[in-house]
Amino acid sequence: MTTNIHSELLTPILSFLQCETPDAWIEEAKKAKNLPIILRDHLACELKAGQTAMFLIRKYAVDKESSQVLFEWFKPYEDFLYRKKGDLQSLANKNNLSKAILPKSSSSKGKSPYSQDLIDKMVLLIKEELHHFYQVLEIMVNREIPFDGITAGRYAKGMMKHVTTYEPNALIDKLIIGAYIEARSCERFAKLAPHLDDDLNKFYVSLLRSEARHYQDYLALAEQVAGDKIDISERIVHFGKVEAELIASPDEDFKFHSGVPL
């Protein structure tokens, strides 16, 4: 059954990605000494994934009050990761919204026909990413692996520097990048899971379905924003090449989304 789920979810993802994770990365990632690095970076990546979605809806879709609600939603998680405030217990039951997230009014500058869909898909994604953040932190606490900080890798920055400077193409590019990041995460969870202990194996397999849907949501939003006026196929191919180069080229900084280890 698990194999069937893997195949069902991964077949379209492997068709979307322009390369698979190199064996050299798997060999490095499965070493016991690197598990703390993988988990610390995974923790940070879950928050970054949520932040990316939050920044998109704050910039493109919601009113000022909702923007502040989103900011407050993230605060305890950001306090933990960046300011070393709080712990697992203090983050319990924090993954909720105090108020509804509302789109900009029809009279507001920047009101878009895709605002509500962007809000709906990204709020669901945020809830799942913050839940995963808590789950990873729980695993780290149970294994006595401290979070003592981790630097950002080259992966996301390497794609973001190719984003177009004008709208709506800039938003479309960001959504395509989001799709690639989520698709790669799903592929790596599946590649890495068989090399981990039973608990981590089950956890990483459990993440596959949500990550697979996240990449599809990002692509659907990119197509919706583009409408009939913009063909996004060339941008998808372009970012696929950029992403594959980052994954397949030598990388001195070992991370969850890093390239071939030196």
CA–CA gap between residue 54 and residue 167 (Å, rounded): 18
Sites in the chain below the pLDDT cut of 70: 1-6, 106-111
Residue 63 gets the label, from left (phi > 0), alpha (psi -120 to 50) or beta, of beta
Can you give the pLDDT at residue 212? Answer: 86
Classify the C-alpha dihedral 164-235-225-123 as positive or negative.
negative
Can you give the pLDDT at residue 2? Answer: 45
Domains of the chain: 2-261 (1.20.1260.10)
Can you give the pLDDT at residue 5? Answer: 54
State percent of the chain over pLDDT 90.
Answer: 83
DSSP string, 34-95: GHHHHHHHHHHHHHHHHHHHHHHHHHHTB-HHHHHHHHHHHHHHHHHHHH----HHHHTT--
Q: How many residues does this entry show for the chain?
A: 262
